[in-house]
Structure 1
Amino acid sequence: MKVAVFSAEAYDRQFLNAANANADHELVYFETLLEPKTASLAHGFPAVCVFVNDNLDPETLKILADQGTKLVALRCTGFNNVDVTAAAQLGIKVVRVSVYSPYSVAEFAIGMILVLNRKFHKAYNRVRDDNFSLNGLMGFDLHGCTVGVIGTGKIGLIFAEIMHGFGCHLLGYDLYPNPHFETMANAHYVDLSDLFTNSDIISLHCPLTPENHYLINTETIAQMKPGVMLINTSRGKLIDTKAAIEGIKSRQIGSLGIDVYEEEDNLFFRDLSDTIIQDDTFQLLQSFPNVVITAHQAFLTRNAISQIASTTIESITDFQQGNALKNEIHPPEKGK
């Protein structure tokens, strides 16, 4: 089956081609984002394969449907960029990668904590400049800290287990509590306000929904411990960036590590080193010495990408053969 692969990077080609070796689909790669103005590229393709920043709004989906597309295959877990209801109305099936290596993201979040706390990035650059001063590099022991984990699914639970290994106290919050979370010593669920008030470090591991858009905002930041460390490896729009900037300025937020950004669609997954970035909010965020930003790379391990590719190709094959789609996303029921 012909598949138009959008937002395609070199590693996408490598791992999707390997996974497709026996399936023999015709994969055509496009580096551009899928959005209304580029949807015509998928003309004649029964399936499109997309990533987190591709825009599958009703307009894009209508163009795809009119051109004969019947399947949208997300090579990611989150699907907030897809209007699933509109897709269903247009007769387009939507599948995702519901599970891939959760260790990749959990371990990356730990790495961000260590970098922010022990300032590895600053120390590395100093030594390269033959500056061996330790001034300004002091951190704190993670042992004994209280860590708030918002979202205790597969990734959040692994993150919590690693932090438990450091000797941290764990506070969890999840609309659907994970029974494994409280089996760890010094780990228990609390209300969100209690988590904000008592955590030294807060890490976000939840999907983006209409209900938790800007979960981190001016009001919730005010509830946090002064000097809190905030980590986000989930979705950019969980954090109101302008509120976070004010929190950094007031020192309510002591350090911020983000692998996602609410307006990342126009920035991430491309080389903009020779351009002038027009996003003033992002530029201001970059200027703070206690902020570390990476470009949505937490998932990027061989293990995770291999699993994402194999699951994606398997879903495309199941669709082609008329099999049940194990990873299909259904529109929400009315009233829910």
Structure 2
Amino acid sequence: MKIAFFSCHPYEQPFLEAANSNHRHQLTFLSQQLTPETVPLAAGHQAICVFVNDQLTRPTLQALADQGIRLVALRCTGYNQVDVPTAQQLGIRVLRVPTYSPHAVAEHAVALLMSLNRKTYLAYERTKQNNFTLDGLMGFDLYGKRVGVIGTGKIGAAFSRIMLGFGCHVVAYDKMQSAVLQQLGVEYLPVNELLAKVDVLSLHCPLTPETHHLIDASALALMKPGAYLINTSRGGLLDTPAVLEALQSGHLGALGIDVYELEDDFFFADWSDKYLPDADLNALTHLPNVLVTSHQGFFTQEAMEQIAHTTLNNLTYLEQGQLPQQHLSEDYVVVE
């Protein structure tokens, strides 16, 4: 089967080619993002594969259907970028990668938290200039602090375990409470009660209409002055202007994000020699108590291998018109 990979970066190709050795598909790697205008690049292919910032909107899906393409693989977990009803209407089958080393994202969330707390990013810049003073670098012990986790799926659970290992008191919110985490000492609380109690809040829930702007001005007002906020899940969970206001007023102590609501236009691209036409993102990247990374939480060797393996398996299953037993669940299927 001929497959066009959109938004494909050079660092992905070796993993995809290695995973394809057992499938023998014909892979076309395209750097372009999938849009209605770039759909013609998929001409002559039977399937496409897309990433987090490729928007499978109604116009895009219709253009794909007009090309005769009915198979789509997402090489990511989230599928909020897919117009599911339109895909169903057009008979386009869509599968995703439900999990790929939850430790990769969980550990990146911890890295953001630790760097913000101990100011290692500031110390790095100082010592490069031979400034070895400690002024402004004071942090706090994580041991004994209360850490809130919203979303205790695989990634949230991994993050919770790490925080428990630090000696933190972990409190969580999720519609589906984990008995395993409860046995480890995690306490589940209503969202508002959790927000009011935590010293650190880390988000690990999907972006849905219900969770859109979950952290807005009212949620931030409930949080303790000086609390830290970490988001490695989806940018739309944060009301960015409200978060900026809380940072600038001093109410929010620090922010670490690996995702941004409007990241589609900026992340995975080099803007170092161009004006960045996003006032909020510009403000965030220049605040001393903010760390922004460009959606790299997934970016470990183990995760890349798993993503490539699952993606190529999914495409083979789609080609064959059937799913193996372990795929007969909504974990993999977005549109069947």
| Aligned mates of 1:26, 1:328 — CA distance in 2 | 23
In the TM superposition, residue 47 of structure 1 has moved relative to its aligned partner by 0.7
For residue 270 of structure 1, what is the aligned residue in structure 2?
Answer: 269
In the alignment, is the contact (CA less than 8 A) between 2:102 and 2:154 conserved in 1?
yes
Residue 328 in structure 1 maps to residue 327 in structure 2:
no
| Aligned mates of 1:267, 1:3 — CA distance in 2 | 26
Structure 2 unaligned regions, length at least 5: none
| Aligned mates of 2:149, 2:91 — CA distance in 1 | 38
In the alignment, is the contact (CA less than 8 A) between 1:44 and 1:69 conserved in 2?
no
Query: Secondary structure at the residue paired with 1:262?
Result: coil
| Aligned mates of 2:320, 2:280 — CA distance in 1 | 47
Residue 69 in structure 1 maps to residue 74 in structure 2:
no
Residue 46 in structure 1 maps to residue 51 in structure 2:
no
For residue 181 of structure 1, what is the aligned residue in structure 2?
Answer: 181
Query: Secondary structure at the residue paired with 2:142?
Result: coil
In the alignment, is the contact (CA less than 8 A) between 1:8 and 1:29 conserved in 2?
yes
Q: Deviations over 1:80-103 (max 9, x none)?
A: 000111111101000000111000
| Aligned mates of 1:40, 1:4 — CA distance in 2 | 11
In the TM superposition, residue 44 of structure 1 has moved relative to its aligned partner by 2.6
In the TM superposition, residue 171 of structure 1 has moved relative to its aligned partner by 0.7
| Aligned mates of 1:256, 1:84 — CA distance in 2 | 32
In the TM superposition, residue 138 of structure 1 has moved relative to its aligned partner by 0.2
The normalised TM-score by structure 2 is: 0.97
Q: Percent identity?
A: 51
| Aligned mates of 2:121, 2:286 — CA distance in 1 | 15
Residue 283 in structure 1 maps to residue 265 in structure 2:
no
For residue 202 of structure 2, what is the aligned residue in structure 1?
Answer: 203
In the alignment, is the contact (CA less than 8 A) between 1:116 and 1:257 conserved in 2?
yes
Specify the code of the residue in structure 1 equivalent to 2:224: K
Q: Deviations over 1:139-159 (max 9, x none)?
A: 000001000000001010110
In the alignment, is the contact (CA less than 8 A) between 2:92 and 2:335 conserved in 1?
no
In the alignment, is the contact (CA less than 8 A) between 1:44 and 1:68 conserved in 2?
no
For residue 92 of structure 1, what is the aligned residue in structure 2?
Answer: 92
- In the comparison of the two structures, how many residue pairs are matched? 330
| Aligned mates of 2:256, 2:14 — CA distance in 1 | 29
In the alignment, is the contact (CA less than 8 A) between 1:43 and 1:64 conserved in 2?
no
| Aligned mates of 1:160, 1:328 — CA distance in 2 | 27
In the TM superposition, residue 321 of structure 1 has moved relative to its aligned partner by 2.0
In the TM superposition, residue 46 of structure 1 has moved relative to its aligned partner by 1.5
Q: Deviations over 1:92-131 (max 9, x none)?
A: 0000001110000000000001000001111111111110
| Aligned mates of 1:145, 1:10 — CA distance in 2 | 41
| Aligned mates of 1:126, 1:221 — CA distance in 2 | 32
In the TM superposition, residue 328 of structure 1 has moved relative to its aligned partner by 1.6
The normalised TM-score by structure 1 is: 0.97
For residue 233 of structure 1, what is the aligned residue in structure 2?
Answer: 232
Specify the code of the residue in structure 1 equivalent to 2:211: N
Query: Secondary structure at the residue paired with 2:255?
Result: strand
In the alignment, is the contact (CA less than 8 A) between 1:197 and 1:223 conserved in 2?
yes
In the alignment, is the contact (CA less than 8 A) between 1:50 and 1:75 conserved in 2?
yes
For residue 110 of structure 1, what is the aligned residue in structure 2?
Answer: 110
Residue 309 in structure 1 maps to residue 308 in structure 2:
yes
CA RMSD of superposed structures (Å): 1.0
In the TM superposition, residue 317 of structure 1 has moved relative to its aligned partner by 0.9
